[in-house]
Structure 1
Amino acid sequence: MTCRFYREQEVAMLLDMATTIEVVDECFRQLGIGGAENVPRHRARTPGFVLHGMHAAAEYLGTAGWKMYSTTRTGAKFHVGIYDIESGQMLALIEADQLGQLRTAAASAVGARYLAKKPITQLGLFGTGWQAEGQLTAMATEFPLTQAFVYSRDEEKRQAFAERMSEKLQIEIVPVHDPREAVEDLPLIVTATTSKHPVFDGNLLAEGALVCAVGANWTFKREVDVVTVRRADNWVCDSIEACRGEAGDFVIAAEEGYFDWTTAVSLADVIAGKAIGRNNQDSIVLFKTVGLALQDVALGTKFLELAANKPDLGMALPF
């Protein structure tokens, strides 16, 4: 069997958000019942350059793999490698920027599927970049959204984002000038920014709100403040192990004495029925995602399944 190389445009051609959400849901379920193993991200650094690596084994799929990406001042380059666990053969090398956007957004949608107080027809969104676009698309795929309130510091960017996404999703996107307007009285708030500091005041959260914090995956960054952490009744991680090493939102709050890691539960355990993710309808829930390699491996495997029906896609590699 020959390893094949696939480019971004081929990934975009075959994968959609609805499919990705179901793939990621099953990822979490399998983690909860022991059908897969995930190894958190590790980083190697030198001035001006960071190499990020993470890997996972998915017994339930018969595959394993890794995600590696580099970040520099000029941007990031993402790749996923998929292996057959029986033969050890490398099946594919996939350019993974598009794949990463899909699985990151789907993780939030899956979290909201199990943790949000329904119905969800409105949300607040912080961020107007590539990941924010994916987050909004995923939530509009999962829920019957009619309206979203979007905040970023750059007025021009948030206006352009609102116009572009309202046309794409056919819902009302309201660019707001005050962070308050993207939090107050809303059942779901998503943060997908590059900010090192909290982007809203946790005192503004409504009873029963779910916060999906996505953007910060370094211990010195946090998008949500201590007030949000303290007001939460439930604290849920995509992976407690990964969040302990990366989620500044929790790490900093713990260092300041406002959070106890023993109170956190994993979404996998919630889905598997081993933990409670929401105490009641009035509970404020904080769901933190830093991204899991298992999601990349599972979605990469799904892509290969779809690509098998299109033999003209990809390029054979000499190994």
Structure 2
Amino acid sequence: MNIFVSENQVKEILSVSNTVNLLEEAMKSLSTGKGFNSPRKRLPASYNGGNLHFMAASWPEKGIAGHKSYVVANGKATFVVILYSTEGEGLLAVIEANLLGQIRTGAASGLASKYLANKDSKKLAVIGSGFQAETQLEAVNSQFNLDEVRVYSRTKEKRDTFAEKMSKKLSIKINPSESSEEATDNCDIISLITSSPIPVISDKQITKGVHINAAGGNNWLRSELSSSSIKKFDFLSCDDINQAKTECKELMEATEKGITSWSNIHELSNVIDEKIIGRKNVEDITLYESLGIAIQDIAAAKYIYDQLK
């Protein structure tokens, strides 16, 4: 049976906290060799800017393969996930995936924080207050007993609105900050979720014990951290090394400048599978570069499909 799934249905079915669990299993499959991921490809979609984006994955153990594709043009994007059976059933579902992608992006940061942040983390800073920031906060909050959350973005009205909305939704106190320095001061976890072409926090704001999710820079024109800051991290990770080599500006520049090498950068899947240790002590500084990969999308898509079939 093949079905079409609307954004409203995704909203009803897919929660942030459950998606953290879905991604945990999916990411581990990449380390065990039971899942396969193909990095995002881009194809020009017009003569004035804009691209068709295509990313694919398969997970034979779960009987699925699929892809997410979307066109970005004139500042707008429409996302869709196509889910196939690998067991002879053909097309399973076509899923509208704007919300799915938002939830998946947040869940990836929650998952990385679970494995790389200090277990007793209490303070979270979110840099950025757009719609993607909401699930960043919700996912990290689902993994930790937070007692303080701060948010900073350039526009006071937007960060105040974000703080009010998410305080009500999650029943926690969220403090809008006047600067990124104020927001990150003495925080245990920092989630960066912007489309900035220049760093949004300084090297000085990266202090002992902190874990950082850099979740907004999924193309080589964006940079939420300076390449020089990379030398401060005791553990560097991402979701897919091959994708990072074409999309992650911070890591691309740092490797080109000799600040680090690709051999020092690890896929989160290997931490989840316990092949490597991420955080070794409470003072370690850890980084997760979240680019967004298709195995995460099809894992969420399968869960949605299973609830509706």
Determine the structure 2 residue equivalent to 1:317. none
Aligned residues: CA RMSD? 1.2
Query: Which residue of the partner structure matches residue 49 of structure 1?
Result: 50
Residues 191-221 of structure 1: CA deviation (Å, up to 9, x unaligned): 0001011001121222111010000011122
Q: Where does residue 60 of structure 1 map in the other structure?
A: 61
Equivalent residue number for residue 131 of structure 2:
130
In the alignment, does 2:234 pair up with 1:236? no
- Structure 2 unaligned blocks of 5 or more: none
Please give the secondary structure, in 1, of the residue aligned with 2:236: strand
Question: What is the distance in 2 between the residues matched to 1:240 and 1:230?
Answer: 18
Indicate if the aligned counterparts of 2:125 and 2:189 stay in contact, CA closer than 8 A.
Answer: yes
Deviations 1:239-297 (A, max 9, x none): 11111111112112222332211101111111112122123221101111100100111
Separation (CA, whole Å) in 2 of partners of 1:20 and 1:273: 21
Aligned residues: 307
Q: Secondary structure at the match of 2:17?
A: helix
Distance across 2 between alignment mates of 1:225 and 1:148 = 24
Identity of aligned residues (%): 36
The equivalent residue for 2:247 is 246
What CA distance in whole angstroms lies between the structure 2 residues aligned with 1:88 and 1:293?
A: 21
Contact 1:122 1:145 in 2 (8 A): yes
SS of structure 1 residue aligned to 2:82: strand
Aligned to 1:225: 226
Deviation digits for residues 106-139 of structure 1 (CA, Å, limit 9, x no counterpart): 1111111111112122111110011111101111
SS of aligned partner of 1:117: coil
The yes-or-no answer on 1:36 pairing with 2:70 is no
Q: Equivalents in 1 of 2:75, 2:290: separation in Å? A: 25
Indicate the SS of the match to 1:60: helix
What TM-score do the two structures reach when normalised by structure 2?
0.96
TM-score computed with the length of structure 1 as normaliser: 0.93
Other-structure match for 2:105? 104
Is contact 2:228-2:254 (8 Å) kept? no
The amino acid across from 1:104 in the alignment is T
Query: CA shift at 1:88, angstroms?
Result: 5.4
Which secondary structure state, in structure 1, belongs to the residue aligned with residue 137 of structure 2? helix
Greater CA deviation, 4-13 or 136-145?
A: 136-145
CA contact (8 A) 1:238 1:290 kept: yes
Amino acid at match of 2:168: E
Is 1:168 the counterpart of 2:165? The answer is no
Contact 1:61 1:298 (8 Å CA) reproduced: no
Q: Is the Cα contact below 8 Å between 1:166 and 1:173 reproduced in 2?
A: yes
